[in-house]
């Protein structure tokens, strides 16, 4: 079993294999088309709350528990402002620089938070918002691990999975006209039409983000390209639930697909071999039988003559 963070990095690498510069180019074009949502200048005038809503809320709550990332209530009591600014700008860079706290977070969450292109001042505004909103908020305890595991183990409703797949592939249109997910994303699954390679491959995203985290990320995507794509075309609750169920299902299948594929290959090689052998046997048998029948008739005919 490989370590999940390694899988994540590998996936990220796979997602960006086909010319990272092309991928960046597409994202840049989307950003330009969408009015530079997510860039420093887009946030120049926005309040800490607005920035938080657009760039952070998909992954973090302030006092309502863990989503994709940790609950941020009280984070300024725990970390220095200097550390927070560095971490938010690039947690990966901080990990690479050997920062112990950043490493511990990465190990716990098995992913790097995406780098944020925000100025020091913008980050300070966001931190002020987190502080203001987090004061007095009693950080709710994260769901117990057992409950989370039980939720993850429950089989998603097959009807939801099917709807989710149809929405993902664009066979069913999004109610509010947003694009299908496979315009940009792929999932590695034999039954799903291959999708785009602009963005991450999503077949292992469910367990990494968790059900709630994934719901939140899809509902208010903290990624500029997705914000542009779904601007004014929010997904409905039903669509989100179906997509989450689909991604949960895909992850389950993914775990089985590789071994099953090799198993199947070995099985069919076996069946092929058996068919060839049976063919040889029956041919040989038929020839022998034919000969003997003919021989019998021949003999009888000889006798009766």
Distances (CA, A) of 151 to 112, 146, 167, 214, 242: 24, 9, 23, 13, 15
CA distance 197 to 141: 37
Q: What are the tokens at 56?
A: 């952070």
Among 29, 183, 280, 297, binds ligand HEC (CB under 6 A): 183
Angle, in degrees to the nearest 10, between helices 120-134 and 81-89: 110
Using the contact rule CB under 6 A, the part of the chain among 101-109, 150-158, 262-270, 271-279 near ligand HEC is 101-109
Q: Is 218 among the residues that bind ligand HEC (CB under 6 A)?
A: yes
Nearer to ligand HEC, 138 or 301 (CB): 138
Q: Is 37 among the residues that bind ligand HEC (CB under 6 A)?
A: no
Contact track, ligand HEC, 236-275, x by CB under 6 A? -------x--------------------------------
CA distance 250 to 285: 48
Q: Is 66 among the residues that bind ligand HEC (CB under 6 A)?
A: no
The answer to whether 180 and 194 are in contact (CB under 8 A) is no
Among 37, 38, 43, 60, binds ligand HEC (CB under 6 A): 60
Using the contact rule CB under 6 A, the part of the chain among 50-58, 149-157, 257-265, 296-304 near ligand HEC is 50-58
CA distance 113 to 88: 8
Q: Is 205 among the residues that bind ligand HEC (CB under 6 A)?
A: yes
- Close Cβ partners of 257 (under 8 Å, ≥ 6 residues apart): 188, 189, 190
Contact track, ligand HEC, 185-204, x by CB under 6 A? x------------xxx-x--
Q: Is 142 among the residues that bind ligand HEC (CB under 6 A)?
A: no
Q: Is 79 among the residues that bind ligand HEC (CB under 6 A)?
A: yes
Among 34, 63, 65, 179, binds ligand HEC (CB under 6 A): 179
Among 61, 86, 87, 212, binds ligand HEC (CB under 6 A): 87
Report, in Å, the least distance between residue 149 CB and ligand HEC.
19
- Summarize as ranges the residues that interact with ligand HEC (CB under 6 A): 15, 27, 30, 55-56, 58-60, 68-70, 72, 75, 79, 84, 87-88, 91, 102, 105-106, 109, 111-114, 116, 126, 179, 181, 183-185, 198-200, 202, 205, 214, 217-218, 222-223, 225-226, 229, 235, 243
């Amino acid at each position: 079993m490989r370590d999940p963070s390694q899988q994540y990095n590998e996936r990220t690498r796979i997602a960006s294999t086909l010319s990272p510069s092309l991928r960046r180019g597409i994202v840049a074009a989307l950003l330009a088309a969408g009015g530079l949502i997510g860039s420093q200048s887009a946030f120049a005038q926005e309040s800490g709350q607005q920035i938080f809503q657009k760039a952070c809320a998909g992954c973090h709550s302030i006092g309502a528990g863990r989503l994709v990332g940790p609950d941020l209530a009280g984070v300024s009591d725990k970390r220095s402002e200097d550390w927070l600014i560095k971490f938010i700008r690039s947690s990966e860079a901080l990990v690479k620089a050997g920062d112990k706290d950043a490493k511990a977070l990465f190990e716990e969450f098995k992913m790097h938070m995406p780098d944020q292109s925000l100025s020091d001042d913008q980050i300070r505004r966001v931190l002020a918002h987190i502080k203001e909103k987090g004061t007095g908020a009693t950080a709710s305890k994260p769901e117990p691990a057992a409950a989370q595991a039980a939720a993850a183990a429950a089989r998603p409703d097959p009807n939801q999975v099917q709807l989710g797949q149809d929405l993902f592939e664009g066979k069913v249109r999004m109610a509010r006209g947003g694009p299908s997910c496979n315009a940009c994303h792929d999932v590695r699954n034999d039954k799903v039409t291959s999708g785009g390679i602009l963005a991450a491959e999503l077949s292992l995203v469910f367990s990494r983000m968790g059900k709630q985290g994934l719901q939140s990320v899809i509902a208010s995507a903290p990624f500029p390209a997705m914000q542009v794509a779904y601007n004014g075309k929010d997904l409905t609750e039903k669509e989100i639930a179906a997509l989450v169920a689909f991604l949960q299902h895909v992850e389950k299948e993914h775990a089985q697909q590789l071994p099953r594929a090799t198993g199947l290959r070995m099985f069919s090689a076996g069946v092929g071999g058996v068919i060839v052998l049976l063919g040889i046997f029956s041919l040989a048998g038929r020839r022998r039988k034919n000969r003997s029948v003919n021989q019998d008739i021949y003999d009888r005919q000889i006798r009766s003559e």
